[in-house]
Structure 1
Amino acid sequence: MKKESLKLKKMIKKTYYEYTDIKDEICSINLSPDTWSIKEIFGHLIDSAANNYQRFVRLQETDSLDFPGYDYNRIKIIKYNSYSYPQILELWKQYNLLLCHIIKNMDDSKRENSWNTDGRELTLSFLVTDYIDHLEIHLSQLAERLKAVQENLALS
């Protein structure tokens, strides 16, 4: 899993560098009621990191795990838009660096241990790869959202 850890680490460093100087006010803008702000996208990624931390650690302790999925309502509950953007970004970065460490040091004999959800069995190995793929999707979404917010501000 060292290759996956390295890929994740590169993504974290690149993203942190690209998003570190953005103003808090810009990151709180929701372009419509059904789209997330930059803070909310990072917040969703923090939630994802927290969920996967539990999966990555617990699946090295047991062969099989029943664990709930993700509830998108958390974005509304946590209210990321009223939280400091530098703190959100730093928490996202640090949580993911911890996941890099966990993935890098993962016990290879546990890779086939599975998380059971919605009638499916997902292996630890799959979950690591899926986590990185999920992150890539949302990093693209972040770039699109930042561009759209900047264009919207320019028109104002």
Structure 2
Amino acid sequence: MHDAILKFEKILNENVSYFPVLNNEILEAKVPGKWSKKEILGHLVDSALHNLVRFTEINYAEKPYQHRPYNQIDLVNLNDYQSMDINELIQLWFVLNKQIVRIMKSVDDEVLDYKIVLSDKTVIDLKFLMTDYVEHLEHHVNQIKS
């Protein structure tokens, strides 16, 4: 878990100051059927919100924890990240993820083993979900940077 947390912190610290220097035209450029870079960042906000709830709820919810999916496309559209002020969007993304880092640092090994049942009935553990969250974040940050 230690390596995932270090990677996570590096991604956050490198990009909180990088994203604001991107040109608004680049951030808001749209290709039909695809999210803009700004909307990808908004998707990362939605992901952070849902995973923050998951990472905390698992501590007191009935076991095994039932993973609830969310409609990513609808959330990006409903939250209208495309027209949101980029600095506010970056702050929201950064602060939510800093809280997730704090949660990840505080989790003990026993909790990392808690079982999670996905909607397709696949069973994973919290450690996998947290590590996968960092990989997901890295993937989308790389899309924004490309």
TM value normalised by structure 1:
0.84
Structure 1 portions without partners, runs of 5+: 145-156
Give the RMSD, CA atoms, in angstroms: 1.5
Query: Where do residues 1-156 of structure 1 align in structure 2 (5 Å cutoff)?
Result: 1-30=1-30, 32-62=31-61, 63-72=63-72, 73-117=74-118, 118-144=120-146
TM value normalised by structure 2:
0.89
Local SS of the residue matching 1:20: helix
Q: Which moved more, 1:82-91 or 1:107-116?
A: 107-116
Measured after TM superposition, the shift of residue 75 of structure 1 is 1.1
Measured after TM superposition, the shift of residue 130 of structure 1 is 0.3
Q: Which moved more, 1:52-61 or 1:67-76?
A: 67-76
Measured after TM superposition, the shift of residue 64 of structure 1 is 1.6
The CA distance in 2 between the partners of 1:27 and 1:9, in whole Å, is: 23
Identity of aligned residues (%): 30
Local SS of the residue matching 1:130: helix
How many residue pairs end up in the alignment? 143
Measured after TM superposition, the shift of residue 26 of structure 1 is 3.8
The CA distance in 2 between the partners of 1:138 and 1:98, in whole Å, is: 19
Look up the match of 1:152. none
Q: What amino acid sits opposite 2:35 in the alignment?
A: W
Q: What amino acid sits opposite 1:98 in the alignment?
A: Q
